[in-house]
Every structure is written in C-alpha cells, then in structure tokens.
Amino acid sequence: MNHLYAAIHSNPRASKVATLPPNWRQFSNLAATSVCSHPIFSAKLAIVSNHSTSIEVLASTLREAFVSKDLNSIAKVLGDEVRWGLPNQPRTCNGRSEVISNFKRLLEEGVEVSIDEVASGNNGVLLVLSVDWPLEFDRPNDHHVIQVFFVRDREIIEIRRFDDKVSASIAAGLK
C-alpha cells in the first residue's frame, strides 16, 4: 500500500512525521507546503507526493510483466478507460479489456517483444521495445517501438506510440 506522509517542521528539535487523513488521495499529485491549523501549534506541513514513486512502481511492474508475458499484471495497472492509440483511429483500443485482448492476440500470433529501456517520468513510463514480427505481419522496418504509458491516479490511462525517443521522453516527463 502506498502511503503519503506530512512532515511537521514546527520545532526543529521535535520534528515528526504524521500520516495524512483518509482523504489524502485528493493531495496525491501535490508537492506543496501549507500551514497546519492544529489548535496547539502552528506548523508548516510539507506534503510529500508519492506520485513519482508510484510511477516508478508501475515502471517496474510493466518491465516484469512484459518480460514474463504476464497479461494479468498488465491488466492490474491499466485504468478502466485506458486508451491505446490515438482517438478515432481504426486500430485504437479503448478500455482495459480491448487493450489486454490486443496484447493477447499479438502474443498468440507470435509477436516477440523484449525491453531495451524503461524510464519513469512525471507523466508516465517510457518503454523502448524491440519487436520481432512474424513474416505475415509485413512490418520489416518496425522492430524498434517506443511507447509511453501515461499515468494518472496510480493507473495507466493512455498508451501512445512515438516515432522518436526525444518526443517520447518529453511526453513522459523525463528530466
């Protein structure tokens, strides 16, 4: 389970860490400082986001799932309304079941995928893949595939292919 903590800095000799209240999810993308309204003392709270940590966990999960061809692990990190591809395109997959069905179909038809690189950024996970297509796919120049898995609220909401690593890195929010 991911935890989000607030560091209380009111007294340097008595610095504490406290768990945020149950509605902490509304702060999950913040990295801000605010003033605590505790009746006994006034303290600055540094709300520390675990957004980047959750993206790193998703990156690790994706790496392991692709290596082991574990579609159930991939399905667990996809949002219900995830989209793979651009809107209004014939090969676009809409929703978790379509994405997983497409992954499954590709594997059943003999597509082999290996991971060359995984990187996590502020917006999502960048995957650089080497793909070996069966001859009947007629994709001789399509061996190097770059995908960004965009993340919101700890789940993948969109998977988009990029033609170059620079634009994919920018989109993923890599530093």
| One domain for residues 61 and 42 | no
Looking at the structure, tell me whether residues 20 and 100 fall in a common domain.
no
Which pTM value belongs to this model? 0.69
Looking at the structure, do residues 145 and 110 belong to the same domain, yes or no? yes
Residues 89 and 165 in one domain: yes
C-beta atoms surrounding 47 within 10 Å: 17
- CATH number of the domain that residue 55 is part of: 3.10.450.50
Full residue range of the structural domain in which residue 11 is found: 5-47
Along the 175 residues of the chain, how does pLDDT read in single tens digits? 333 333 333 333 333 333 444 443 444 333 333 334 444 434 333 333 445 568 999 999 999 999 999 999 999 999 999 999 998 888 899 999 999 999 999 999 999 999 999 999 999 999 999 998 887 777 766 788 999 999 999 999 999 999 999 999 999 999 7
Task: Tell whether 29 and 72 lie within a shared domain.
Answer: no
Pairing mode of beta strands 124-132, 144-152: antiparallel
Identify whether residues 36 and 70 lie together within a single domain.
no
Q: Are residues 30 and 104 in the same domain?
A: no
If one counts the domains in the chain, the total is 2
Look at residues 29, 47, 65 and tell me which one is the last residue of a structural domain: 47
Q: E strands within 20-108?
A: 33-35, 44-47, 78-84, 93-94
